[in-house]
Amino acid sequence: MTYLILAGGLSHERDVSLRSGRRCADALRAAGHDVEVCDADSSLLARLSETPYDAVLIALHGGAGEDGALRQVLELTGVPYVGSTPDACRAAWDKPTAKATAVAAGLSTPESVTLPHATFRELGATAVLDRIVAHLGLPLMVKPARGGSALGCTAVDKPDELPAAMVQCFSYGEAALIEQLVVGTEVAVTVLDGAGATGDGGARALPAVEVHALSGVYDYTARYTAGQTEYFAPARLSSAVAAEVSRVAVAAHQALGLRDLSRADLIVDASGVVQLLEVNVAPGMTETSLLPMAVEADGLELGAVLGELLERAARR
C-alpha cells in the first residue's frame, strides 16, 4: 500500500505541521510503509487523481487540518483518510461548541464567555470587559474561539491586562473565548480507536502526559521549543485520578463523534475535578508533541500505530 501524508498548509501553524509531517513519514517508513509527503496546495487534487493512494494521513494543524473543510474535499475525491469526519471536526474546532457538547455529556469545563470582535466595538470594550470580570472573576484565559497551538492565548491576572490580551486574541480570529483560568495539573490524553488496543475499534485512552511549562504558561514557545517544558509520561497522578482523566477524554471523544484519534487537553484542579479545556482532532506529531509521548509511554511504536490507522482507513 502507498500512503500520502499532508503537511504544511497556509495556517499560522504551517511550520509545526511540516515538522509533524516529517516525523510521521520517518516513523511510517521505519515501520516498513511506503509513504509520500506533500503540501495541501493547488496541486493536491491533480495528484490525488493521478496517483491511487490507499489512504491519507492529515498532519495539518490549524484550520487547514482541523475545521473539516479539507476532509470534505477528500470525501469528494473518494480517497479515504485517517481521522474524524467533517461534521465532527467542525464541532471540535469551534471551542464554544465543543465545550457546550462536553457539558451536555456531563463533563466539567471552565465557565466562559464567547463574544465576537464586533460586540466590543459596538457596545464599548471597557464596559463589556468590566461585566466579564464581574461575572467570571480573575484570573482568566483569553483565547481565539477557533485555533490551536495556543496562538493568541493569554493568561490574565489583573483587569488592566485584559485589553492587550483581547488585541492579541483578535489578531488570530474574529471571536474570543474568555474562560476562568483553572490552576492545577495540566495533562493531555490521547484517545485511539482500536489502534494498539484490542483491534475491535473501541476507543481507549493512552497514558496521560503531564505538562509543566517552566514559564508557568504552556504557550506556543513552551510547546515547540526544546527545554521550555517538562513532560511526565505517564503523568504523576494517583490511580483514581489517572482513571478519571482517561474517562473524561474518551467521553469527550465519543460525545463529539470523533474517529480514529484525538487528544484532550485537561486540567485537574485543586479539588481533584477534571476540567476539559479542548479536544484536538489533528494533534501535533513533532519531537515535543504530546501524542508521540503517550504512544511511547504505552509501549507502542508511533509508526505501528499510524500504520494501523492508515490500514483501517484504507479498508473503509
All domains of the chain, ordered by start, with CATH?
2-82 (3.40.50.20), 90-108+182-299 (3.30.470.20), 112-180 (3.30.1490.20)
Is 301 a residue of the active site?
Answer: no
Q: Out of 13, 94, 193, 244, pick the active-site residue.
A: 13
Is 20 a residue of the active site?
Answer: no
> pLDDT, tens digit, for every residue of 55-79?
999 999 988 889 999 999 999 999 9
Residue 201, pLDDT score:
56
pTM of the predicted structure, to 2 decimals: 0.93
Q: How many CB atoms lie within 10 A of CB 239?
A: 7
Is 148 a residue of the active site?
Answer: no
Q: Out of 280, 289, 303, 312, pick the active-site residue.
A: 280
Closest among 74, 59, 62, 65 to 23, alpha carbons compared: 59
Is 200 a residue of the active site?
Answer: no
pLDDT above 50 for 197: no
Residue 199, pLDDT score:
45
> pLDDT, tens digit, for every residue of 102-150?
999 999 999 999 999 999 999 999 999 999 999 999 999 999 999 876 7
pLDDT above 90 for 11: no
Is 94 a residue of the active site?
Answer: no
Is 265 a residue of the active site?
Answer: yes
What does DSSP say about strands 140-144 and 154-156: parallel, antiparallel, or unpaired?
antiparallel
Q: Out of 260, 278, 298, 308, pick the active-site residue.
A: 278
Q: How many CB atoms lie within 10 A of CB 10?
A: 14
> pLDDT, tens digit, for every residue of 19-37?
999 999 999 999 999 999 9
pLDDT above 70 for 165: yes
Is 246 a residue of the active site?
Answer: no
Residue 38, pLDDT score:
96
Residue that has been written with the C-alpha cell 483518510 in this structure: 81
